[in-house]
Structure 1
Amino acid sequence: MSLNPEELQEHCKIILKSNRIDNKIVVLCEGKIPKLGGRGSPESYSYKDMDKKPDANFYKACVPKYWSQYKPEFFNCGDRLDVINTFFELKDLQQQDSIKPDSDRTKIKSHLDPEKLFAIVDLDIQSQTINKQYPFSDTEKIFYNLYQEGKVNQQTAPQHRIWVTGFIHKESYFIIPELQEMFDSCFMPPYPLYIPLYKENNLLLTDIYKDMAELIDQDPDLKNHLITASQRINYCPGLNCTDVDKLKISWIQEFNSTVDVTRKNELIYVLLTLIKAKNFWREIEPPPNWSGSADNYKEQLLLKIGKFYSEQSDAEYHLSVFFKILYQFV
């Protein structure tokens, strides 16, 4: 459920009043926000600890190693529409506040630099309309301008303030094939090795991809929006997007018939653009020798995944390019 107008304004005022955003880039993302419904301050509702909560803590962990000062601040803002609404409400409140005299008791005294405000939301299967003045009228148009053949278009990327993920959901970034080596050597305190499980076996990402492929003809959202989905992946040869049955068969055939790693990865990235990864991520569990909670294990695992992205600079990794662009605004 999206924030109502009163909750949205309260949420935004808390962000604007937060002195931790002074001279910082602010990134709005999807994720649960603290309960609203009263007079707020930056310290109330646990907003000061927002970057320690999913999903903000994952993005914080992805900040590149070379970014040593004035690191961005991340704020969960609810669902995709809430994030977009928060982006524009912050700008509106900032503009309104700037024309008020200092003596005005309603003046927020914002700490936000509007030129350093960004948002990142899930692509999702359905497009989200943007009903405000912005160069792109919906998230689908953002996607096509921001990505080219599955990679970030670094020529157009700097103009974007609202980013969409290159895969259907953020969780897709948790299971890209390059992470298999990290999962295989997943050291977490206390030692020894704690390898995550998927369906009671040591995690093999290929098992997840095969299960995802089996859902191609069973996902009602994909079936209802097949034209939209197929246009996103039209750069990938060998796939029959006439209907979901043919798409499933052709993907499996292409995947099983190649031993070329680059081609397999291309097909996996296509799959992560088509099929929602959230439920598959939920099925990843700690091994029996993990003494803590499952939630704590997944949280530690996410931080390790974030560390992986923080050490990358290849344009192949969407999040690495996202932070590379952000760094230009420090």
Structure 2
Amino acid sequence: MSLNPEQLKKHCEVILQSRRIKNKIVVLCEGVTPKIQGRESPQSYKAMEQMPDANFYKACVPTWWRQKLPEFFNCGDRKDVIDTYFTLLTLHKQDSTNSYLDCDRLFAIIDLDLQLQTIDNYIFTDTEAIFRNLYEKSEVKEKNAAQHRIWITGLIHKEAYFLTPELQSLFDDYPNSPIYQENLVSLTNIYSDMADGISSDRDLQFNLKRAFDRINHCSGLDCTLDLDKFQDSWKHQFQNTTDATQKHELIVALLTIKKAKDYWHLIKPAGDFSRDERVFREQLSLEIGRFYSQQSSDVKCHIPFFFKALHECV
């Protein structure tokens, strides 16, 4: 549920009046907004970076970035994030004396998702237009990055970055042995399960052309707007290729169009973990964030590259 106008204004006022954003980059992201008894409060915003979404991106800040670290704020759903971005700019313009915001250092990052989200009064009309300008063949277009203030994930949503192939060793070595479907986490098995769910995915069916337009550069895939044929072609290629580069391309294509949240939520701790499963996944996501914080800012590495682009504004 999106913020109503009154909630949105209050949410933005709290951010603008937060002293911790002074001379800092501000990053708006999706996630539950802090509330105390149904109302936002300055005190609750102090704990913002301990909340899911914001704390994941905070964990991703590169290890080489040591001063003037970005400040992260959960803002609700995709529409809320976009509305917050523009409302912050408007309120700051109306009364800059009551704001610590540097408008040139304001950014947002939202999920690509399958559905289109329109954006008014921006250089790009919708989320897919941002995606097409920012990415090509699953890589960031470095020459275009500087013009983007509202960033889109290159994979379908944040949780897809929790399941990328290079994380297998992290799952293998993680304490309390992460379990998926009663076995130790095997990302290959998760990809196979995701592929098995393609033909019955109604969201994918309703947004098929948009989804296939994102990945039609992948050789060997049947992108003729038939989910069954696409599913069969993906599984055939994945099971039979011996080329590591092609297999990685297939996985990235899958994570660009097939929602990963449900599969991520099936990852659980071993039986000796005493706390809630949600807490386990939050802790695991922070470890994944720290993994990304140590990666190079190559155009193939979406999250590290995002922070490289942010750092240009320090």
TM bin (shorter chain): over 0.9
Equivalent residues in 2 for 1:73-88 (5 A)? 73-88=71-86
* Alignment size in residue pairs: 312
1:170: Cα distance to partner?
0.8
Q: Does structure 2 conserve the Cα–Cα contact (< 8 Å) formed by 1:30 and 1:76? A: yes
Name the counterpart of 2:266.
283
**How high is the TM-score relative to the length of structure 1?**
0.92
Name the counterpart of 1:35.
35
Name the counterpart of 1:126.
115
RMSD, aligned CA: 1.4
1:324: Cα distance to partner?
0.4
Equivalent residues in 2 for 1:294-313 (5 A)? 294-313=277-296
Name the counterpart of 1:15.
15
Structure 1: gaps spanning 5 or more residues? 99-106, 187-192
Name the counterpart of 2:136.
148
Which amino acid in the other structure matches residue 27 of structure 2? V
CA displacement 1:5-40 (0-9 Å, x = unmatched):
111000000000000111110000000012378886
Name the counterpart of 2:191.
209
Q: Does structure 2 conserve the Cα–Cα contact (< 8 Å) formed by 1:25 and 1:329? A: yes
Equivalent residues in 2 for 1:49-68 (5 A)? 49-68=47-66
Structure showing greater Rg: 1
Equivalent residues in 2 for 1:263-282 (5 A)? 263-282=246-265
CA distance, structure 1, for counterparts of residue 12 and residue 105 of structure 2: 15
Which is further off, 288-297 or 242-251?
A: 288-297
CA distance, structure 2, for counterparts of residue 40 and residue 207 of structure 1: 42
Partner of residue 173 from structure 2, selected from 161, 182, 185: 185
Equivalent residues in 2 for 1:126-275 (5 A)? 126-131=115-120, 133-186=121-174, 193-242=175-224, 243-275=226-258
**How high is the TM-score relative to the length of structure 2?**
0.97
User: Quick check: 1:319 aligned with 2:303?
Assistant: yes
Q: Does structure 1 conserve the Cα–Cα contact (< 8 Å) formed by 2:34 and 2:40? A: no
CA distance, structure 1, for counterparts of residue 203 and residue 72 of structure 2: 30
Which amino acid in the other structure matches residue 123 of structure 1? L
Which amino acid in the other structure matches residue 117 of structure 2? Q
Structure 2: gaps spanning 5 or more residues? none
**Deviation above 3 Å: which 4+ runs of structure 1?**
36-41
CA distance, structure 2, for counterparts of residue 96 and residue 241 of structure 1: 49
Name the counterpart of 1:102.
none
CA displacement 1:112-139 (0-9 Å, x = unmatched):
10000000001110110002x2110100
CA displacement 1:72-129 (0-9 Å, x = unmatched):
000000000000000000000000013xxxxxxxx6x101100000000011101100
Q: Does structure 2 conserve the Cα–Cα contact (< 8 Å) formed by 1:17 and 1:41? A: no
CA displacement 1:229-262 (0-9 Å, x = unmatched):
1101011111112210110000001111112211
1:294: Cα distance to partner?
1.8
Which amino acid in the other structure matches residue 6 of structure 1? E
Name the counterpart of 1:101.
none
CA distance, structure 1, for counterparts of residue 49 and residue 58 of structure 2: 7
Percent of aligned positions that are identical: 56
1:201: Cα distance to partner?
0.5
Distance 1:39 1:226, change over 3 A: closer
Name the counterpart of 1:115.
104
Distance 1:52 1:226, change over 3 A: same
Partner of residue 70 from structure 2, selected from 72, 80, 84: 72
- Which secondary structure does the structure 1 equivalent of 2:151 belong to? strand
CA distance, structure 2, for counterparts of residue 116 and residue 80 of structure 1: 20
